[in-house]
Amino acid sequence: MPQPRLDSFLTEIRALGEETRLRIVLLLSRGELTVSELTQILQQSQPRVSRHVNILADGGLVEGHREGAWVFYRLNPASVLLEGLEEVLPGLHQGRDEVLEQDGVRLSEVMAARAAVAADFFQRNAESWENLRRLHTPESDIEQKMRELAGDAPVEKFIDLGTGTGRMLIVFRDLYEQAVGYDVSREMLAVARTLLGDAGVDNAQVRQGDIFDLADQEGSADFVCIHHVLHFLSDPVAAVKAARKLLRPGGRMLVVDFAPHGLEHLREDYAHRRLGFSDEDAADWAKAAGLAVSGSETLAPGADEQDRLSVKLWLLKAPHESGAQAKYLKESIHV
């Protein structure tokens, strides 16, 4: 009887052994695509493309992730066959095959259309974002401090909650092996996919998901980032507890948000539910979630910037003992 790995290898070879399906795999090796986008690129009917995608999915070569009515497909990182083809696929892209060249041209057109949608979203929201940026420390200073607090220890899996434009996936790109950013907004995810592609980040994906509904990711991450998210939520403690369940033993969580302030207009203008957080708040989150505060920083405005808000950063850490991790997950209140 074939070994499981050999059996999987043969199944994947059978699934890949057709021209259209090989073209699909080559396209997905350059990024996530929907069936609609694949249909535009391959110049084939949607039912036919769907059938080929389903064969690849059943064979273990690709996987899909639903966002509302859309499903984004990507290569399956657990594929046995693709693990050995990682160096071969780029070479096929560089060949002189006319069909593949035309696929590449139409793929560029699809990506350009995505970029146009993202640019339109940015333009429509640019003024409000710029007004908010003026209220706090420059983003570059915050990102530099985040990297310093996170350190240089390599991360196998990085999760960014409320990923927005996917900026944190770019900032930490050299730290992690793989990453996933979650956001409830499809518009923001469209922006994030475009920016990740422009930055050449190919080991990160973005998914539609809620911080309170990621049970399938429990215990999967070495590092969780929550960047300027908690002030939008009515129950930050519950959010930190939900995020903590994603951590492996010894995992870390980096939380960035505003220090306490009195700008009430942010509630109405920008949907802020909370007006900043203190070190005492962070200590309460950590205690409730079975974490320890292992580091904190404050980025306060300069003497000539008293109209700006201070930004707080906290690094929280889960215990190394797997028993302690299991005990917390078993006893914690469901959020």
Measured distance CA(124)–CA(238) in Å, rounded: 32
Is the pLDDT reported for residue 1 higher than 50?
Answer: no
Average pLDDT over residues 101-108: 90
Q: Locate CATH 1.10.10.10 in the chain.
A: 4-109
Which residue(s) pair with 15 in the sheet? none
Please tell me the predicted confidence (pLDDT) of residue 6: 74
Please tell me the predicted confidence (pLDDT) of residue 334: 46
Contacts of residue 218, defined as CB under 8 A and 6 or more positions apart, other chains included, come to 245, 246, 329
Please tell me the predicted confidence (pLDDT) of residue 54: 94
Is the pLDDT reported for residue 119 higher than 90?
Answer: no
Q: How confident is the model at residue 333 (pLDDT cuts 50, 70, 90)?
A: very low
**Span 9-36, pLDDT tens digits:** 788 888 888 999 999 998 998 888 999 9
Look at 66-70, 73-77, 94-98, 265-269 and tell me which has the smallest mean pLDDT: 94-98
Q: Give domain 134-331's CATH number out of 3.30.420.340, 3.90.1150.10, 3.40.50.2000, 3.40.50.150.
A: 3.40.50.150
Calculate Rg over the CA atoms of the chain: 22
CA atoms within 13 A on the CB side of 257: 27
Q: What architecture is the 4-109 domain classified under in CATH?
A: Orthogonal Bundle (1.10)
Q: Locate CATH 3.40.50.150 in the chain.
A: 134-331
Closest CA to 45 of 54, 55, 35, 33: 35
Closest CA to 274 of 287, 289, 263: 263
Q: How confident is the model at residue 50 (pLDDT cuts 50, 70, 90)?
A: very high
